[in-house]
Amino acid sequence: MRSDLVIFGSHINLARRSRRRWLVLLLLLFTVVLVAVSWKFDRWRGTGGFLCFLTVVMNRYLLGGLQAGGLVKPFSKSYRPIWLSSDPPPQSRIDRWFWSRAPSAKDIESDEREDFERDRAHRISYRVLWILMGIVCFLIYLTREGTPFGGAQFSIDWALGVALVGVMLSATLPQAILLWTEPDMEDENCEVEK
């Protein structure tokens, strides 16, 4: 896991757990606000795809895990860009906003402890997604059959919203769990207070 984050050229030291937890809380709050605004705007009909695209961008540049980028190393052991065996490619302007340097082999390879922590984060996130999919199925049932007590039927928009949140969480929750639970680490530039 990287200890620094570069956002628009500014270096942010995230070696301390409390700072990483603040980052996770801010990203979740930002996501909740966007989901609420898109509900108010068009009930996730046109903005749902935008929210999924935004999730991919958050993973690429902030969280990582799915590819080389962000704070978390890639989950897949088979992911090793060809350029790691030679000179790194030149960085694009966008990559320079979020990376102080091109990723090295150290940024991609992981050890057994990191693999165990990743497996644990995925188990927790799968449980959360299982619960969300159960809620989606229940909401779809209520949409078709109505409430058991004879009330009005639910709108299918609620099931779509919970499914959209499930898609967004499936891409970000393992990385958020890793950032939340990882202990303080030492930064190359400064010592972490204990």
> Does a structural domain hold residue 189?
no
Domain of 24? 4-181
pLDDT exceeds 60 at position 93: no
Which residues, 6 or more positions from 123, have their beta carbon under 8 angstroms from its beta carbon?
none
> Does a structural domain hold residue 112?
yes
The DSSP line for the chain is --SEEEETTEEEE--SHHHHHHHHHHHHHHHHHHHHHHHHHHTTSSSHHHHHHHHHHHIIIIIBSSSS-SSBPPS-TT---GGGGSPPPPPPHHHHHH-SS---GGGT---HHHHHHHHHHHHHHHHHHHHHHHHHHHHHHHHHH--TTS-PPPPHHHHHHHHHHHHHHHHHHHHHHHHHHPPP---SSSPPP-
pLDDT tens, position by position, 121-180? 989 999 999 998 999 888 888 887 767 766 666 678 888 888 888 888 888 899 899 989
Q: Given this model, what pLDDT does residue 90 score?
A: 56
Evaluate if pTM is beyond 0.85: no
> Does a structural domain hold residue 191?
no
**Which of the two residues, 90 and 52, has the higher pLDDT score?**
52
In the chain, the amino acid numbered 70 is G
> Does a structural domain hold residue 190?
no
Tally the domains of the chain: 1
User: Residue 4: what are its φ and ψ, rounded to 5°?
Assistant: -130, 150
Q: Given this model, what pLDDT does residue 138 score?
A: 87
> Does a structural domain hold residue 147?
yes
